[in-house]
Amino acid sequence: MNRLYERYSDRAAFYIVYIEEAHPTDAWQMAINVKQKVLFRNPVTETERSQVATSCVKNLGIRIPALVDDLNNSTERAYTAWPDRLYLIDAKGQVVYKSDPGPFGFDAKRLETELARLLPQTATMQSGQPEGQ
């Protein structure tokens, strides 16, 4: 995703939205999370959720700007985003691509195909010449 962000961020707004914790220690925990020491309880305050989101972004090396869903999970409910999902929304506000749920439906290659289809190349890229030549 970082690669897509770097390639298309001049023509599209990218955001990661941290929604409710998929594998909190006080609910359903995965062995891989224990092994990798990715252990968070389900946040009960906005501050806690922001802290967990910040930790995840940092630990995963995500360079895309991150937003945090509210404790009512409004974004997750509106977009059926749990546990994770990719969306591409056009300039008119229409969803033009919605991946299957992750992690198996998380298809960055398909998202890239849709981005390339929707977004015109920059003038530099269209001409095949660097700017100023």
* Look-up of token digits 């929604």: 19
Q: How many CA atoms lie within 13 A of 92 on its CB side?
A: 4
- Please give the pLDDT value at position 131: 43
Domains, the chain: 2-121 (3.40.30.10)
Token code pair at residue 3: 């690669």
Given a cut of 70, the residues of the chain with pLDDT beneath it are 22-41, 121-133
Q: Kindly report the pTM of this predicted structure.
A: 0.73
Q: What is the spatial distance between Cα 49 and Cα 12, in angstroms, rounded to a whole number? A: 26
- Please give the pLDDT value at position 50: 93
* Look-up of token digits 């890239």: 112
- Please give the pLDDT value at position 39: 61
> Of 100, 108, 109, 104, whose CA–CA distance to 80 is shortest?
100
10 Å Cβ neighbour count for 13?
A: 9
Q: What is the spatial distance between Cα 30 and Cα 33, in angstroms, rounded to a whole number? A: 5
- Please give the pLDDT value at position 32: 63
Q: What is the DSSP letter of 43?
A: P
Which runs of E-coded beta strand occur in the chain? 16-18, 66-68, 87-89, 95-98
Token code pair at residue 128: 């095949």
Q: What is the DSSP letter of 131?
A: T
